[in-house]
Each structure stands twice: as structure tokens, then as C-alpha cells.
């Protein structure tokens, strides 16, 4: 089976160039990186939670997680500047395409009551952000070791110039978006 990267460059890129009516093949949008981050609840009070979540994020992405630290102190949260509060991983190249392939074909179909991802999570430049309520849907995670639910956020960064280009790129890659509901107005005068 071909990898998603090879399939994109051989099949999807020429089709996207034709669909977007672009003259230059270098102007065709592509995924540049994927950022996976996780805000760790209770990291300030218990350092072992941070270590465990770093191991989990490493298993999910295949890359060591970087610790994100608080930028300023907030007394009501008992948070001091420099305290570890989250983890993040930036994926590029082959690892990025492998992670995206796993996300599309394995992880998203495993979600409970899954009807597609929202179409509204694009920013103005065509980047897409997806939040998962729990990390236990990834196949690398042993469900017996999960003692608490922890969410994570996946940002797919593209070089698209607009929301529409970003949507067309991700749809071509196989991201299952929600079906648009057709509105029927039954108003009579």
C-alpha cells in the first residue's frame, strides 16, 4: 500500500492544481506540519502526571514531547511563571504523513458516535484544529493503563491561502468532514 505522502504527490497534487485552477504546481497547498498538544491537568501539584502524559504523547506521535511552561503567574490557579502546564510535539515530513494517515484511517473511525469532523474549525489561512476528548482512541494506548481521561488538540498547519483551499486539501487527503445539512424553509405567506 502506498503511503499518504506518495499518494498526495502522485495523485492528489495534480488533481488539486486542476481543481484550484493554478498555473504553478508549487502554489498547490500542502500540509507543512502537525502540532499535537496537551494541557496536563494537575501537573503543578503532581510531577508524575507530567511524566506519564509525556510518555503517552511520545507513544501516540513516535516523537519525544516538549514541555510547555507557564508564561505568567496566576495566583487563583496556584500557578507560577515557569511551571510545567502542558506538552507539545511538532511533526514534519514522513512522521507527519504517517500520523495523519493513522488519524484518518484508524483513530477518527474509533470515536464514539462519529459523524465527521466539523467544517468550521479552519482559521483564515486554511489551518485546521481538531480537539479530542480522550487520548485512549489511539491504537498504541493500552486501555488498562488509562487511569484518567485527558484530551489533546491536533493542529494541521497548511500553506493554503484561504479556508476554501485548506478545506479542499484536507478533503482530498481523506479527512472525513460532517455532511452539510440542507436547510428547508417551510415558511408560507
DSSP string, 36-84: EEEE-TTTTT-HHHHHHHHHHHHHHHSSPPEEEE-SS-BGGGTB-TT-E
The pTM (predicted TM-score) of the whole model is: 0.84
- Residue 159, C-alpha cell as written in the block: 500553506
| CA-to-CA separations, 110 to 41, 61, 91, 132, 142, in angstroms, rounded | 24, 17, 22, 12, 15
pLDDT > 60? residue 182: no
93-112 burial, b if ≥16 CB within 10 A, otherwise e?
eeebbbbbbbbbeebbeeee
Radius of gyration (Cα) for the chain, nearest Å?
Answer: 19
Q: What is the pLDDT of residue 110?
A: 85
- Residue 176, C-alpha cell as written in the block: 472525513
Q: 3-class SS at 85? A: strand
Q: Could you tell me which of 149, 159, 182, 175 has the C-alpha nearest to residue 38?
A: 149
pLDDT > 50? residue 167: yes
Convert the pLDDT of each residue in 8-28 to its tens digit: 898 899 999 999 898 988 989
* Rounded average pLDDT over 46-73: 85
Q: What is the pLDDT of residue 184?
A: 56
Domain over 4-173 is classified CATH 3.40.50.10470: no
Q: How many helices (H) and strands (E) does the chain have?
A: 6, 5
Mean pLDDT, rounded, of the chain: 84
Amino acid at each position: 500500500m502506498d503511503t499518504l505522502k506518495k499518494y498526495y504527490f502522485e495523485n492528489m497534487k495534480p488533481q488539486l492544481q486542476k481543481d484550484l485552477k493554478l498555473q504553478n504546481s508549487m502554489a498547490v497547498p500542502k500540509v507543512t506540519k502537525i502540532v499535537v498538544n496537551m494541557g496536563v491537568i494537575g501537573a503543578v501539584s503532581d510531577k508524575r502526571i507530567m511524566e506519564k502524559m509525556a510518555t503517552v504523547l511520545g507513544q501516540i506521535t513516535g516523537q519525544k514531547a516538549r514541555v510547555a511552561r507557564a508564561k505568567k503567574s496566576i495566583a487563583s490557579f496556584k500557578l507560577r511563571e515557569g511551571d510545567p502546564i502542558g506538552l507539545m510535539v511538532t511533526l514534519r515530513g514522513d512522521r507527519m504523513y504517517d500520523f495523519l494517515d493513522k488519524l484518518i484511517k484508524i483513530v477518527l473511525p474509533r470515536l464514539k458516535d462519529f459523524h465527521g469532523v466539523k467544517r468550521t474549525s479552519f482559521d483564515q489561512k486554511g489551518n485546521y484544529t481538531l480537539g479530542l476528548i480522550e487520548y485512549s482512541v489511539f491504537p498504541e494506548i493500552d486501555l488498562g493503563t488509562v487511569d484518567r481521561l485527558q484530551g489533546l488538540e491536533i493542529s494541521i498547519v497548511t500553506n493554503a491561502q484561504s479556508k476554501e483551499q485548506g478545506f479542499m486539501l484536507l478533503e482530498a487527503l481523506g479527512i472525513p468532514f460532517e455532511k452539510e445539512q440542507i436547510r428547508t424553509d417551510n415558511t408560507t405567506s
